[in-house]
Amino acid sequence: MNGWNQSLSRFVACAILVLGLASCSGGGSDGGGITTPPAPPAGSVTVTGTVSGTVIKILNAETNTVIRQFDTATLNQAPPFVFTLNDVPVGTKVRLFFITGGAVYPLHFGSPLTNVFRFTSAGTVNLGTVETANNQAVLPNPPNAGVEFEPPVSDFPSPPGVTPLPPAVTVAIPVNNATVPSGPVDITFDLQHVTIGDQNHDHLHFRVDSDQNPYEFVNGSPVGQILYNDSPAVNARWISSTKFLLLNLSSAQHIVTLELATASHTPFVNSQASTLVQFTVDQPPPNPPSTVTVTSPTPAQVFPFGPVGVTFAVSHFTVQGQGQPQLHFYVDTDPNVYQFLNGPTNQVWYNGAPTTSVLRTNTNIFQFLSLSEGAHSVRFVLANGDSVATELTNTEATAVVSFTINAPIGGSPSLTVNSLGTTPLSPGPALVTFTIQNSPVTTSAQPRMHFYVDNDTTVHRFYDGQGITEDGSTSGVRYQNVHTHFVHWKSGNSIQLNALASGAHNIRFVLVDQSGVELTATTQTLTFTVSPGTGGAFSLQVVVGNLNSPVPMATAPDGRIFVGELSTGNIRVVRPTPSLPWQLQSTPFATVPVGNPEGLLGLAVDPNFATNGFVYAFHPPSASMNRVVRFRATVTNGNTVADNPTPTIILDNIPSSSIHNGGVLQFGPDGMLYVFIGDAENPANSQSLTSLAGKILRINPNGSAPTDNPFISNLNANAKKVFSLGHRNSLGFAFHPHTGDLWQTENGNLSDDEINRIVPAGNYGWPLVEGIAATPPYVDPILALTPSVAPTGIVAIREDSVYPAQYHNNLLFADFNNGFLHRIVLGGPQLRTLGTHSIACDCGQGPLFSVMHGLNVSGQDGFIYVTTTTGISRVVLSSP
């Protein structure tokens, strides 16, 4: 029988101890006298167990003296805690106490329960997990050996020194029922007979008002913290070991309850371990008024004609950017608002848009650039950052200043426009000269003159002065606030009108004052006519032959031309020379498989070819798919060849068919690779973003989708690469050298061939609409050709070409059916509308394919080149 069962048997057999003077003995008594207990065996016991957080004391049950004690707070770890009591004498009657949360729990175990026992043999006794409840500690699973119980006796009172002094918490600040200022509230408390540690030790809980979720106040090294729902508290801040701040309390009465808690978050049981404080948070003091003052100009100040500087100051207010607190001002009787905006906007807006009539120079300084002579009054008012920028109504938020601007020196403004001479004018740019005197505008930031072309009621604005250029954002002629290619600024007294259609024209000029008001007394009107265009003025000159159905071609920066043979898949290299014919390299640069009848359709040279040597090709490796690949050029034995016959795949699994494969490749001015893919004889492809067919793609040179593509947010990988959709088939597109616009030829279905300007996310209608249908949201072409001529390649004629000025910025495209070159004179301020369309060349060489603008290098010499069925030809001007 094991020790635990032996103890139970002896318990049943023994008499009840009376007054603790008698005891059971293993052999009973010999005559009824008192038997002296045997001496305890030599040695000692190590007592271990697990508790949730407490002080453990073991006492001699006969002398009530402490034998050993253990404080789990010394372990510095999260509960539960393993305790150890060493060197407990064997055979000595002992009592074991667990002290936690301000209460004392004597250990009871056995059956029936007793709290006096002794250890019968040396060694280690593991009491297991000790639980404290109902004023006693118990063992759910008592040890089965090494412990012997005394007969049941009444529970002794806790001996002196066992019961701790009651832990207590009191609030020092604020005093009860105090009124505290608005803002963070200081809670300072005092502690007695307890130390607040981290979460693994005794700590403090507090609750605010009716919120039953406690905040946990814990100290630590080097600082403590306050937790709420196990996360750092937002509305409370730890300050010191006995102080915290409550944040964001409303102006009202509040109650804060504080209570001490054990490591296991159990509240202390004694009444002194909790307290509460009631206080009232006062109303916040009124905010000082937001104020604006104007320090310059001073009242009634007089300025010379020209810009007027304004300096202002604000207090209790911060002028920020659009959608945030800002400064408004109103000039004279104009009801429209100016908005002065600091970062991140850093602009002055007028009537909801940036203005150039006022220049912001600092966070509190700006200049009026175009105020007219005379008296002026400016009203300033602060506005908040709500959605409508509501203006503040307090009187301090408004300021008014009045001043006067003297008249300009030199007389009244005047304008003279010079005649263009004998008309009609020849097609091409028209240079208009004029003289402006005594302009009231003295800065390049403001227009000096307005002019209107023909029946267009939208104004062209003419600028002059420091920093004005012919092109770009600082151009001297702006239409709808941007640079226009239709009219170029040439000097402070001249403009050049480009792409004028044949026929009668009139231009009305008028000077403006500093406010942009037209000075009607200076109005001048110029009338003239332009003669019809010179269609049919071009012819073709063969520069190289002996090619097998050459279609795509692309030039390297040094003048080498890569040309692809449609059916053989050979990529050939041509070296232009000053004399004809050009040199055709006998060894192909590379050869790609052609798995369908349309074959090798596209070539492009990387913009960084000079350093990376990359050449791109569009071809069908099989009948079921098209592919874009990349080679690297190198020179071997004097020949330009690919350094590896196996190219890098850039774009794969492109839909394929016997017709309508597209295949045009070209790099844009943005460095992206644009790829045209036909509908592969499945018209439904063109309207589906999940298919690459019937699209113009815009991809990075490695084949990935640029992050600024129009459909980049679409989850479909194909859609992310789409630039435009709704296409049937094309063999050509080109970027305009000035506008950057992408122009494309589109093959219609028997009719309605199209010339399209491609816009991001544009839908060009196929198969739902064709030609000029005026059916939004589909984008109409600028030109529809009926019957079909099968347009192929297209270019925009550069201004640095060899051709006369009247051809600059025109489009030139080829057709397959007639072998014609077509000329389009672009119209409109942005060169985006059809001016005229004419036949530039009835070439007589059969179908024409690609059209390429040559470089200004030896041999190419700035001409345009086309591919025919057997070679490459130069486009030459037969008659001006």
Give residue 289's pLDDT. Answer: 94
Query: For residue 27, what pLDDT is reported?
Result: 33
pTM for the model stands at 0.47
Quick check: 513 and 441 in contact, CB under 8 A? yes
What is the tally of structural domains in the chain? Answer: 5
Reduced DSSP (H G I as helix, E B as strand, rest coil) percent helix, strand, coil of the chain, to 5: 5, 45, 50
pLDDT given for residue 154 in this prediction? 57
439 and 573 fall within a common domain:
no
159 within a domain of the structure (yes/no): no
Assess whether 112 and 227 both reside in one domain.
no
Note whether residue 447 is domain-resident: yes
CATH, residue 543 = 2.120.10.30
pLDDT at 471: 66
Three-state SS for 228-259 is ECCEECCCEEEEECCEEEECCCCCCEEEEEEE
| 166-204 residue pLDDT tens | 889 999 999 999 999 999 999 999 998 888 888 778 889
> 677, 652 in Cβ contact below 8 A?
no
Last residue of a domain, one of 372, 405, 438: 405
| Predicted local confidence at residue 134, as pLDDT | 81
> Do both 60 and 79 map to the same domain?
yes
What integer pLDDT is reported at residue 427 of this predicted model?
60
- Asked whether residue 590 falls in the same domain as residue 640, the answer is yes
Q: What is the CATH number of the domain that holds 270?
A: 2.60.40.10
Tell me, yes or no, whether 118 and 243 share the same domain.
no
φ/ψ (deg, to 5) at 75? -80, -25
Please report where in the chains the tokens 């913009």 appear, as a residue.
607
266 shares its domain with 306: no
The DSSP bridge pattern shows strands 602-605 and 614-622 to be antiparallel
Ranges of residues in the chain with a pLDDT under 50 are 1-41, 533-534
**In angstroms, rounded to a whole number, what is the distance separating the alpha carbons of residues 367 and 356?**
10
Q: Are residues 307 and 237 in the same domain?
A: no
| pLDDT of amino acid 108 | 84
Residue 363 lies in a domain: yes
Four-residue CA torsion sign, 686, 689, 690, 691: positive
Question: How many Å apart are CA 744 and CA 734, to the nearest integer?
Answer: 7
Based on the domain organization, do 773 and 657 belong to the same domain?
yes
Residues 565 and 651 in one domain: yes
- Examine residue 154 and state whether it is found in any structural domain, yes or no: no
Please compute Rg for the chain using Cα positions. 48
- Residue 12's H or E segment, with its range, is helix 3-13
Q: State the alpha helices, DSSP H only, in 408-552.
A: none
Domain boundary among 250, 281, 312: 281
Instruction: Copy the structure tokens of residue 676.
Output: 């045209």
Question: What's the confidence (pLDDT) of residue 498?
Answer: 66
Same-domain pairing of 444 and 549: no
Helix (H, G, I), strand (E, B) or coil at 186: strand
For residue 396, the SS3 value is: helix
Q: Determine, yes or no, domain membership for 319.
A: yes
- pLDDT the model gives residue 107: 87
195 within some domain: yes
Determine how β-strand 722-725 pairs with β-strand 695-699: antiparallel
Domain span holding position 131: 3-149
- Residue at 398: amino acid letter: T
449 & 419 share domain: yes
- The answer as to whether 157 is a domain residue is no
Residue 522 shares a structural domain with residue 549:
no
Q: Is 305 helix (H, G, I), strand (E, B) or coil?
A: coil
Residue 286 lies in a domain: no
> How big is the chain, counted in residues?
880
Domain boundary among 476, 507, 530: 530
Select from 704, 702, 698 the least CA-distant residue to 761: 698
pLDDT for 268 equals: 85
User: Within 10 Å of residue 624's Cβ, how many Cβ atoms?
Assistant: 12
